[in-house]
Structure 1
């Protein structure tokens, strides 16, 4: 019923707006104002009897231009399928105006931003209006002059009020919100329930969380796992995302490289896992790493997309023998943001797309229910939990949504920079060399990081 009411309200508003346009040469501002007023009245009446899930913003963005198409760009088909399922079905009369361009390349390499820039420079009918950006490169996009604040699209903070704070924090540049996301990607710890029962005497999530609730307890449990013939993690880099989200300062401060204490901590903790044989020394994304998911490894640091799509245990004895907890710290891993360029010829339509995908509680409820994306909407998540949605067979029927929600609420990305993805890779190189003995001390590893930064960035002061 809610979908029908919104569609009816929008249809009435569009009809009124078009009739105004047909009356003669009225000024565009008068037409827009009149159409906005009509839409507000129609949708307010339609929404007056609605109950949960509710949107804090009330009516959606009004589209007065129903002739001008916009181009949406992304690196794969994920966003395209979400648009098909959750935007086009809600606004079929606008579907043909939203053209999807799948570049079918890596979203985190140099080629994707280069192709977007080339399309911006070329202009014309294919100029990008909406650009999808992976978490690893999104900040770099947001800082470009051609990305407009979402307020230019008619989106207010009230409309985005259900978003998790960390996603707002991450996408705010100089006080302006430059991007929205439909997905939140908080991290959790996925653990083997059978190994927990054997070694810890319990597999209950609350009791397991108490065993790994901080790093001291985590390493105490690692020692217990080792004594029982198991490994705590698959590789020493497993804790990377969790530890680096604890940085109290940015990689670059006032134009100079800054080594936060969390960097030293990661080097030391990774080395401790490596030297004490708490890990099988398998690198993330290696075939060994995947095989260890059904072997003798107790836990994996994962996230909202890792659990359904990368915890590959379906055809193994480990199927159904995992649960998740929040772990030692709150952290995130990945994500995708939507940005709009100043070349967009129909910003109202772009605004409606972003509103629907990233603000509309009902649409975001459906995004999780249909696509398993943990939605960046706390009201939708609360309703999903209340409705009993989210239980996974690979987790033995556990519903991870409450864990995801708690982890997302504990996150802060106030120290994120556009350098993070690259400098974290430099840290990986230094950590691997330190773990293997090629570098003798943490100080040597820090020097290695500084050398890598200095060689690549002449504009950053390295002391």
Structure 2
């Protein structure tokens, strides 16, 4: 059936009912020489983002309301969508102080982050100033300041450290009473600030609602809430994970000749372990499927556990032992390398053909000095990518507003520009990032309009952006706490040291895990 882009005379309720039944992915990887994504326009995919879901139903409803009330000949559905009329994003053209309950009128708007990599493109998109000019003017002093829409001078505090170390520096800034309006965080430690009402303002104080965030990936909405379920952070950047592998080796040992067939061979942890053992056996123990225990754990542990009870009691689920048993078996048979993540040996295993697969985050595909590039560039064209045994995230960035700000209007404007404006999010993607908007990313994946040439060549032209986009849609988080990052770090450390290397019983290993976690996190109890 051909769907005409004009719904006059069509039952809108019938269309909405059909669209709301399921969210159906429309993408399928082809096996042609370009390995691009084929996104066929089908009935129901109103915005052509590759999915039939509630977003399409919302557009139809909005268009129906428009055609029912407009005088004269209504615009076509294509033009309605192109004008942005069918989107649910807050518009940056709204008065900057609308629905803002925080103070306004400050003369300086201060943003803090661990480096300027993220801030440069965000400020550039917000102000319309060239990114290179932003860098120069941010560090030039007061002679040529960049100003916010309100006229306030934009001040940038560069902590000049890694994101993982930023929390301690933020503590120093806040303890010293520094004037910080908006600051960047990572999901692994953001909850520490989101649970502190003196350091994080609810998004409702900026006039931002859950409905406004409907375009974001569902897992990030969980990460945007504090322990009380209140939205306190804007996750504007996502870093979904996937699995890259040597396609020639996969065909040799597993008999698979496409990413789809590889995904079928490793699509859950049981299949992954079975394939790893097959590869090790057929290669005489010379080839590992997985790059490291830490890489496997990064994926396996994502959103799976609820380690801490409501009364701060530590409770580790049986899935921890299930992973430990799988890890030990693969370690002993050679299905996973014995290399330490981030070591030279770790990337050299890929270079030397001793390891055929790596668990990888999207951010590692945007830079030629990343570990993915180092591990794979010597066999350019021989690597492929698929989701792997589980969808997971590995990184991401949030924006949090200090409730003490006196620039609430600028905070709202900056956030709308960075996390809700489709055009700006596309620009952000082209500055080596992945925005948190499923529609924007689906369009970028469909068009295959952005990719690093070096990584595209390594993957023989495969559309890796589409793989990450689909992975982000499938990430599931049960619950998370401010302790999770350290707990997961201690668990994998003790599994490797006690259960695998020292061959301790599981009961003894579990005791050591619990003791180590409670030593590192004295607020918890066994």
Fold shared, TM-score > 0.5 on shorter chain: yes
Distance 1:307 1:56 in 2: 30
Q: Is the 8 A contact 2:147 2:154 kept in 1?
A: no
Matched, 1:288 2:345: yes
Matched, 1:63 2:96: yes
Distance 1:390 1:445 in 2: 46
Deviations along 1:298-344, whole A, 9 cap, x unmatched?
A: 11111211233330248843123221111111211111111011111
1:198-213 paired onto structure 2 within 5 Å: 198-213=252-267
Distance 1:320 1:140 in 2: 43
Give the alignment partner of residue 443 of structure 2, picking from 383, 399, 406.
383
Distance 1:262 1:270 in 2: 12
Shift of 1:81: 1.9
Partner of 1:31: none
Partner of 1:338: 399
Deviations along 1:37-75, whole A, 9 cap, x unmatched?
A: xxxxxxxxxxx9660777413422533567632111111
Partner of 1:400: 464
Distance 1:284 1:248 in 2: 22
1:34-113 paired onto structure 2 within 5 Å: 51=82, 55-60=87-92, 61-63=94-96, 68-89=107-128, 94=148, 97-109=153-165, 112-113=166-167
Deviations along 1:407-449, whole A, 9 cap, x unmatched?
A: 1111122311100111112112202213543251222221111
Q: Is the 8 A contact 2:290 2:356 kept in 1?
A: yes
Distance 2:352 2:127 in 1: 44
SS of 2:184's equivalent in the other structure is: strand
Flag the 1:316–1:120 CA change in 2: closer, same or farther, 3 A. closer
Flag the 1:379–1:272 CA change in 2: closer, same or farther, 3 A. same
Distance 2:88 2:129 in 1: 19
Distance 1:314 1:301 in 2: 12
Distance 1:316 1:51 in 2: 40
Of stretches 453-462 and 150-159 in structure 1, the one that deviates more from structure 2 is: 453-462
Partner of 1:303: 361
Partner of 1:177: 231
- TM-score, with normalisation over the residues of structure 2? 0.73
Distance 2:89 2:377 in 1: 46
Distance 1:121 1:337 in 2: 21
SS of 1:338's equivalent in the other structure is: strand
Partner of 1:41: none
Partner of 1:186: 240
Of stretches 389-398 and 189-198 in structure 1, the one that deviates more from structure 2 is: 389-398
Partner of 1:371: 431
Flag the 1:354–1:449 CA change in 2: closer, same or farther, 3 A. same
Note the aligned Cα RMSD (angstroms). 2.4
Partner of 1:216: 270
Distance 1:389 1:251 in 2: 43
Partner of 1:162: 215
Flag the 1:86–1:231 CA change in 2: closer, same or farther, 3 A. same
Where in structure 2 are there 5+ consecutive unaligned residues?
A: 1-78, 98-103, 131-145
Q: Is the 8 A contact 2:239 2:395 kept in 1?
A: yes
- TM-score, with normalisation over the residues of structure 1? 0.82
SS of 1:128's equivalent in the other structure is: coil
Q: Is the 8 A contact 2:183 2:400 kept in 1?
A: yes
Where in structure 1 are there 5+ consecutive unaligned residues?
A: 1-47
Larger fraction in helix? 1
Q: Is the 8 A contact 1:434 1:445 kept in 2?
A: yes
Matched, 1:432 2:496: yes
Distance 1:139 1:102 in 2: 21
SS of 1:452's equivalent in the other structure is: helix
